[in-house]
Structure 1
C-alpha cells in the first residue's frame, strides 16, 4: 500500500498541461508538456510501437515504449543537434519528400514545406 502512495506522488509531480500524438506508420510519438511541483515545464517525448508476437489465436499485442525528457535549458542545444542531424540526412540522401494522399486524423500533424529552419508549430 505504501508503494502505491509513493507512485501516486511521483505521478502527481508530473502534471500534463499539453499533449500531442503524432501517428507515423506502426509508431505513435507523443509530445507531452508536463509541469513539476515547482511549476517548471518540460517536454516528455514518447515513442510507442505496437508489437505483435505469435500468430492467429495465440497472438499477443504489446507496446514498446521509449521516453526522453527534455528540459527548457536544453531546448536550444537539442534543436541545434536535431537540425544538424536532419541536414546531414538531407545532404546524403536528398530532401525529405512530403507524403501526400494520406488522410490526416485529428491528432496527426500536417507536412509543411522544408526550409533551412526547423519550426515547431504546436496547437493548443
Structure 2
C-alpha cells in the first residue's frame, strides 16, 4: 500500500526535542479513515543530515483500544513509577503554540520528508493491530 499517496485529511505535529511526531489522518480509496503516527528523527551520517522515520498505522476499529492502552500506560508511569516527577514542567503550551504558528504547512513537511538518504521501506513500517 502506498500510504504517501493517500489523501491527507488532518495532521498534527508535536515537536519533542530532536524528534518530531506526526499524527496524520488519511483516507483509503474506499473513503475510510485511519491514523498514522510517525516519529521523525534528524540524523547525521558522513556529514550529511537526513530524517529517519518510523511509522505506525492505527485503524478505526482499534482507536478506543489504542487510546485506552496508551492512557493506562502513561498513568502507570506517572502514578506508580515516577509519582514524584513534575510532568507539568514540560507543558509549555505557549512555546508550542508559537512553534505551530511558525511551522510550514503539511504539504511542505511531506515534501521535505521525501528528501532523505533512507528509503522508508527499509524501516519496516509496521501495522499496529490489537487482538
When the two chains are superposed, the root-mean-square deviation of aligned CA atoms in Å is 2.4
- Check the 8 A contact 1:28/1:47 in 2, yes or no: yes
CA distance 1:69–1:51, change in 2 (3 Å): same
- For normalisation by structure 2, the TM-score amounts to 0.64
Residue 101 of structure 1: CA displacement?
Answer: 8.5
Q: Which residue is equivalent to 2:123?
A: none
Q: Which runs of 5+ in 1 are unaligned?
A: 1-5, 109-124
Q: Which runs of 4+ in 1 moved over 6 A?
A: none
Q: Which has the higher contact order (CA 8 A, sep 6+)?
A: 2
Number of aligned residues = 96
Q: Which runs of 5+ in 2 are unaligned?
A: 103-131
Greater helix content: 2
Q: Which residue is equivalent to 2:100?
A: 106
Indicate which of 63, 80, 98 corresponds to 1:75. Answer: 63
Indicate which of 25, 44, 52 corresponds to 1:64. Answer: 52
* Structural mapping, 1:1-124, within 5 Å: 11-12=4-5, 14-54=6-46, 59-90=47-78, 91-94=80-83, 96-99=87-90, 100=92, 103-104=95-96, 105-106=99-100
Structure 1 CA distance for aligned equivalents of residues 77 and 13 of structure 2: 24
